[in-house]
């Protein structure tokens, strides 16, 4: 084959391994000093001077459009956010303070109000989505504060105290919540038993110290539910996603719009560097994930033997391991990127990095519609990778300097690809937001980060559309990429790439937060389910009890109706006649339709076998309502049905003597 090289400084020809008849790709670099040829054939450098470019008036318009887009995005999100009802009574202070972080569990929760309180007031507490029992709320002498004792120490995490109060006439006068964080788990106090006899005695099981709630060394939890090691996990997730997305997006742009890219040394080095970033980030992500799901240190997580624990950490754990394997396999194309334009190897060269990107969509599988969520996540990840990966390639490689017509084709080709990728990314992202957050964007940490991410995406989209419009107008008939044109486009695409990096950082952050529509509690089966209905006030409640034998039982209360006006709900369980237990009253912290769960380890003591009754007390629109009692049976510990022995008095038989009839 006859070579027709385009002469220039630092042109390097590299012979690749392959058949002798193969066209060996040439790798070339670009400089600002183009070369020419002398009549005798020798190559000489012609030093050219580039005049200083005048200020671009377009930049001011671009900046103003960006500001307008951000403001419009914020206003639009605010308009779609659910409005909050104005409560009549308000909280002036609380202990613990709203939004504060305290070192240990409080003994009392106290809330001070602006107006005096009536007789019907409630405080319900949940920590880490788990319901905890409080003492009965007590009003202060001035009727301005409400307090409730905390009988059991609260765990480390986020706690929400939901309150509902009434006015002097007993009418509902506001609801709300106080949120605080507990920095440390409750300390375990060991009991020391003094033995008078000096002789050694066998340990008594009744004196054993309480078992710690920490994850045992052999226990592996689902990767979606980890609450420790979030720092290394976030960093590893960010670097892994950034590297994998950039690798796949760059290869897509090269295959579809810039096949000459494999001839540039700077492009080949970039692809290899991105693969190294993806590998290092994925190893860190897998190691941090293995440490988090087992409760071990990060150093222990770097052991390859620990990675196999992810096989028991749910679908996200398996996906993390699969990503590591696909990234390692992608070295085959990263070190020979020309395989991506060879028809014989193109499918595999694009397929392996694509599978690594697909694993990103399996990072969250704890929503109610897990299959739909995974499908949306896969589509979103692929579109995002094409968009962000292509932008980074253009900013760092394609527009690194002036060049020939192939650079123009690369920019225009990416514009066509990115248009579809941008639309797909936005639509799938909105669908994910609806699935995970619904309309509660301002009511949770996850929703608020989603809003912030949407603002950054809006800026990114605006810059992208402005850059694409400029490309369509100025590069439609261009035959080369000039220095001013490359510099101007590089700045625009660099801003877009920086915004994309911020979006990826927020996405990694979101995976450590719990969306409102995701139930992180364990799957619970209920042996008894009772439907409580009061037609007069449209009350519809389903009460579930985890066990139908004597012992401690978990409780669930699913309120389906009414939509509004719920306050002071409680479930009352009446035991059968006995000498040990009577009535059990459990407050329910719901003021609207929803589900409240009391786990079995903190459940209600159904310790007497026999026929129990259940009623629901609730205040609806200021009216106190008590449901009709419903009966259920608690069996003996061995599962047998309790029987009631009836004492039947003996039958008394009276013998009547024979009657003698007188005869005439």
Which residues, at least 6 apart from 458, have a Cβ–Cβ distance to it below 8 Å? 69, 70, 72, 73
Instruction: Show which of 124, 149, 182 is a domain's final residue.
Output: 182
* 462: in domain: yes
- CA pair distance 363, 282, nearest whole angstrom: 13
* 200: in domain: no
Same domain, 505 and 533: no
At residue 659, the pLDDT reads 43
Task: Read off the CATH number of the domain in which 143 is found.
Answer: 2.60.40.1220
Cis upstream peptide for 96 (omega within 30°):
yes
At residue 47, the pLDDT reads 32
- CA pair distance 327, 497, nearest whole angstrom: 22
H or E stretch covering 611: strand 610-620
Same domain, 271 and 334: yes
Q: Token pair of 310, please?
A: 């992810």
What are 109's strand-pairing partners? 148
User: Are 328 and 353 within 8 A, CB to CB?
Assistant: no
Same domain, 245 and 169: no
* 258: in domain: yes
Same domain, 486 and 544: no
* 166: in domain: yes
* 48: in domain: no
Same domain, 474 and 552: no
At residue 46, the pLDDT reads 32
* Adjacency order of strands within the sheet including 594-598: 528-534, 539-545, 555-561, 594-598
Same domain, 439 and 538: no
* 589: in domain: yes
At residue 16, the pLDDT reads 40
Same domain, 539 and 470: no
At residue 300, the pLDDT reads 86
Q: Token pair of 165, please?
A: 């109060």
Structurally, the chain folds into a number of domains equal to 3
Same domain, 571 and 498: no
In the chain (664 residues long), the average pLDDT of successive 10-residue segments reads: 38 37 38 38 36 42 51 47 55 88 88 87 84 84 88 86 83 85 66 34 35 47 75 91 95 94 93 96 94 86 90 90 96 95 94 95 80 92 95 93 88 90 93 85 85 93 90 83 90 93 91 76 76 91 92 90 89 89 88 85 87 93 90 89 58 49 43
SS (H, E, C) 64-90: HHHHHHHHHHHHHHHHHCCCCCCCCCC
Same domain, 243 and 285: yes
Instruction: Show which of 182, 211, 239 is a domain's final residue.
Output: 182
At residue 61, the pLDDT reads 53
- Give the residue numbers spanning the domain of 136: 91-182
At residue 630, the pLDDT reads 93
The DSSP bridge pattern shows strands 604-606 and 551-553 to be: antiparallel
Nearest to 224 by CA among 326, 425, 370, 376: 370
At residue 143, the pLDDT reads 86
- What angle is formed at CA 603 by the lines to CA 601 and CA 606, rounded to 5 degrees? 120
Q: Token pair of 109, please?
A: 């929760």
User: Are 291 and 306 within 8 A, CB to CB?
Assistant: yes
Instruction: Show which of 446, 479, 510 is a domain's final residue.
Output: 510
- If one counts every other C-beta atom within 10 angstroms of the C-beta of residue 49, the result is 6
User: Are 136 and 166 within 8 A, CB to CB?
Assistant: no
* 192: in domain: no
At residue 521, the pLDDT reads 53
Same domain, 537 and 438: no
Instruction: Rounding to the nearest 10 degrees, give the CA dihedral for residues 297, 300, 301, 304.
Output: -170
- If one counts every other C-beta atom within 10 angstroms of the C-beta of residue 198, the result is 6
- CA pair distance 578, 585, nearest whole angstrom: 17
The DSSP 8-state label assigned to residue 461 in this structure reads H
* 653: in domain: no
Q: Which residue has the tokens 């310790």?
A: 607
Task: Read off the CATH number of the domain in which 620 is found.
Answer: 2.60.40.10
- CA pair distance 401, 58, nearest whole angstrom: 21
H or E stretch covering 347: helix 346-358
Nearest to 554 by CA among 616, 586, 601, 588: 601
Nearest to 159 by CA among 97, 91, 212, 215: 97
* pTM exceeds cut of 0.75: no
At residue 475, the pLDDT reads 82
Same domain, 290 and 234: yes
CA distances, 459 to each of 64, 265, 466, 492 (Å)? 11, 33, 11, 12
Burial class (CB in 10 A: 0-12, 13-18, 19+), 123: buried
Same domain, 610 and 504: no
């Amino acid at each position: 084959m006859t070579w027709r090289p385009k002469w220039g400084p630092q042109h390097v020809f590299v012979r690749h391994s392959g058949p002798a008849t193969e066209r060996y790709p040439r790798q070339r670099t670009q400089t600002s000093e183009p070369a020419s040829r002398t009549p005798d054939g020798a190559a000489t450098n012609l030093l050219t001077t580039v005049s200083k470019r005048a200020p671009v008036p377009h930049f001011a318009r671009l900046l103003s459009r960006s500001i307008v887009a951000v403001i419009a995005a914020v206003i639009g999100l605010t308009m779609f956010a659910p409005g909050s009802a104005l409560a009549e009574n308000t909280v002036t202070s609380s202990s613990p303070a709203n939004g504060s972080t305290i070192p240990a569990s409080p003994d009392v929760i106290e809330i001070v109000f602006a107006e005096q309180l009536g007789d019907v007031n409630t405080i319900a507490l949940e920590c880490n989505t788990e319901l905890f029992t409080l003492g009965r709320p007590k009003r202060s002498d001035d009727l301005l504060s409400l307090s409730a004792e905390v009988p059991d120490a609260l765990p480390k995490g986020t706690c929400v105290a939901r309150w509902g109060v009434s006015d002097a006439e007993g009418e509902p006068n506001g609801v709300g919540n106080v949120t605080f964080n507990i920095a440390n788990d409750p300390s375990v106090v060991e009991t020391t038993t003094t033995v008078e006899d000096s002789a050694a005695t066998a340990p008594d099981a009744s004196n054993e110290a309480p078992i710690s709630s920490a994850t045992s060394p052999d226990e592996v939890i689902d990767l979606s539910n980890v609450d420790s090691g979030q720092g290394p996990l976030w960093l590893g997730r960010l670097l892994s996603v950034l590297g994998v997305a950039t690798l796949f997006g760059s290869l897509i742009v090269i295959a579809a719009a810039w096949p000459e890219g494999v001839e540039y040394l700077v492009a080949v080095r970039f692809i290899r560097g991105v693969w190294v970033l993806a590998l290092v980030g994925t190893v860190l992500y897998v190691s941090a994930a293995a440490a988090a799901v087992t409760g071990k240190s990060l150093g222990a997580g770097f052991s390859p033997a620990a990675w196999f624990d992810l096989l028991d950490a749910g679908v996200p754990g398996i996906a993390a391991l699969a990503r590591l394997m696909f990234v390692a396999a992608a070295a085959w194309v990263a070190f020979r990127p020309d395989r991506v334009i060879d028809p014989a190897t193109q499918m595999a060269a694009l397929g392996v990095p694509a599978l690594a990107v697909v694993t990103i969509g399996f990072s969250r599988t704890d929503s109610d519609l897990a299959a739909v969520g995974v499908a949306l996540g896969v589509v979103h990840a692929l579109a995002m990778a094409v968009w962000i990966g292509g932008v980074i390639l253009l900013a760092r490689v394609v527009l690194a300097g002036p060049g020939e017509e192939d650079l123009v084709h690369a920019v225009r080709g990416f514009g066509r690809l990115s248009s579809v990728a941008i639309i797909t990314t936005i639509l799938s992202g909105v669908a994910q937001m609806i699935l995970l957050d619904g309309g509660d964007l301002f009511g949770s940490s996850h929703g608020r980060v989603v809003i912030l991410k949407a603002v950054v995406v809006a800026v990114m989209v605006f810059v992208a559309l402005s850059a694409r419009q400029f490309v369509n107008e100025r590069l439609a008939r261009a035959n080369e990429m000039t220095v001013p044109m490359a510099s101007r486009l590089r700045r625009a695409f660099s801003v877009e790439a920086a915004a994309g990096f911020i979006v990826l950082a927020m996405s990694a952050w979101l995976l450590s937060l719990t969306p409102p529509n995701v139930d992180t509690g364990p799957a619970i089966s209920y042996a008894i389910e009772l439907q409580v209905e009061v037609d007069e006030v449209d009350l519809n409640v389903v009460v579930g009890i985890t066990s139908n034998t004597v012992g401690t039982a978990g409780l669930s209360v699913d309120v389906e109706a009414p939509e509004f006006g719920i306050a002071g709900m409680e479930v009352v369980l009446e035991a059968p006649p006995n000498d040990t237990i009577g009535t059990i009253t459990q407050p329910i912290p719901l003021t609207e339709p929803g589900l409240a769960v009391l786990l079995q380890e903190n459940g209600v003591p159904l310790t007497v076998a026999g026929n129990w009754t259940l009623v629901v007390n609730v205040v609806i629109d200021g009216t106190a309502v008590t449901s009709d009692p419903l009966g259920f049976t608690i069996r003996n510990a061995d599962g047998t049905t309790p029987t009631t022995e009836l004492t039947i008095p003996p039958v008394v038989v009276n013998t009547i003597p024979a009657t003698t009839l007188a005869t005439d």
